[in-house]
Amino acid sequence: MQIVWIFAVMGLFAALVFVNFYFRVRVLKTYQRLRRQGVEFGSVHFFDRARLEREILPRYPQSRADILDFVRHIRLSIRMATALIVLITLFGAILMYCR
């Protein structure tokens, strides 16, 4: 049974690495487009949708789709990474207590 948990942790770690590379490529492409267009906003806008729509989107209407994609990808990558880290920690704890 211990082998199964070890492979589960290894699989989750590999998934975490894959998620990191996947979102890094997706987020960096969008980020580069936004930088070329001169779009600037802070990290507070990632988590406060109302503030994003009130302060940033009216200033850059031509970049609305890119801004929303960027914020969506950031949020999704944070949620997925958090879930994977919690699972890795949980499975690691199970492995520790099964010995």
- Tens of pLDDT, residues 17-65: 888 888 888 888 998 999 999 998 888 888 888 999 999 999 999 999 9
Q: State the pLDDT at residue 68.
A: 93
- Asked if residue 41 lies in contact with residue 67, where contact means CB atoms within 8 angstroms, the answer is yes
Rounded distance, CA 66 to CA 34, Å? 7
Q: State the pLDDT at residue 64.
A: 92
The predicted model scores a pTM of 0.78
Rounded distance, CA 61 to CA 74, Å? 20
Rounded distance, CA 7 to CA 80, Å? 20
The percentage of the chain sitting over the pLDDT mark of 70, rounded to a whole number, equals 99
What's the chain's average pLDDT?
A: 88
